[in-house]
Structure 1
Amino acid sequence: MIQRIQTVFLFLVAIAMILVTSFPIWQQVNPDQSMMLTLSAWSLDKIDIQTQEIIQSDGNIYLGILAIVAAALALFSLTQYKNRTKQMFLNMINSIVMVVTLALIIWTSHQANASFNPEVNGAFVLGFWAIFGGMIMNLLANRFIRKDEMLVRSVDRIR
């Protein structure tokens, strides 16, 4: 049923993954406070702090695409409430997509940190932490879907 708690969790997964595409994921400021490196879901930008203009931009659209795929999978899984096993399978695939996205973000930020300023670590910001929120919500949705499936099977056994 669409009014179950897992529907709320799956909707929150979609919102979290949209937040990943909307907000910065990782930032690092040069020690002399002249340049900043910002990783978003769409690009890795080197920004001059004084003028706020982008000096160099490297596209990494794959992070944005993976985040949108995860949001779309969550919304599609939300509509599959009549087939709980399919819904759990879609959520499992969505977990894998989110883990791959997270791994690519960590790898990209590590590579950017090594080339920009290896002595200082950058900071992960809202876009990065939204992925963890989405992963937790996805796990909770799966837990409640599994709970509903076990309840239906126990009622079928009584008949």
Structure 2
Amino acid sequence: MIQRVQSIFLFLSAASLLIIIFYFPVLRNESLSLDYYLFNSLEYVRWILFSSVGLSIFSIFQYKNMKRQKLIVSVSRLCITISLILIVFIFKDDNMIQLGTFLLLAPFLSLILANYYINKDEKLICSADRIR
């Protein structure tokens, strides 16, 4: 169901990732005074984050199969982790990390909270089955 708490966190994760991709710089080159945004540079990171957005939105509609939903959320978190590693360790050569890189933690935390509420719903369903 779309009105569940984890659906709100999954939507917040997807929306915040889209905002970060299009509006916040992730790196800044001081010598060239150039900001790197995800929508026009860092192509691999951009596609990894777009896949995370797609997985988050797809996961909202997988409420009937909670194991699959947890797996999709975990893969989405893995995509965000990989993009952070790429930004910090590979593309950081002579660039400074900007606000967009730190803001990638917000959708990551949102996915952690979504996973928590998915587990909570799963336990609630198991306890209701036990009572029957």
Q: Structure 1 length normalisation: TM-score?
A: 0.76
Deviations 1:30-66 (A, max 9, x none): 3xxxx313222145xxxxxxxxxxxxxxx53101101
Alignment of 1:139-154 (within 5 A): 139-154=112-127
For the residue of structure 2 that corresponds to 1:26, the secondary structure is: strand
Equivalent AA in structure 1 for residue 106 of structure 2:
G
Q: Does 1:68 align with 2:68?
A: no
More strand by share: 1
Alignment of 1:9-88 (within 5 A): 9-22=9-22, 23-30=24-31, 35-43=32-40, 59-88=41-70
Equivalent AA in structure 2 for residue 97 of structure 1:
C
Equivalent AA in structure 1 for residue 82 of structure 2:
V
**In the aligned structure 2, how far is the partner of 1:8 from the partner of 1:131?**
18
CA RMSD in angstroms, aligned pairs only: 1.5
Q: Which of structures 1 and 2 has the bigger CA Rg?
A: 1
Structure 1 residue 6 displacement after superposition: 0.7
* Structure 2: gaps (5+ residues): none
* Structure 1: gaps (5+ residues): 44-58, 114-121
Structure 1 residue 93 displacement after superposition: 0.7
Q: Does 1:98 align with 2:99?
A: no
Q: Structure 2 length normalisation: TM-score?
A: 0.91
**In the aligned structure 2, how far is the partner of 1:132 from the partner of 1:109?**
18
| Paired residues, number | 131
Contact in 2 for aligned 1:91/1:142 (Cα 8 Å): yes
Query: In the alignment, what sits opposite 2:109?
Result: 136
Structure 1 residue 97 displacement after superposition: 0.7
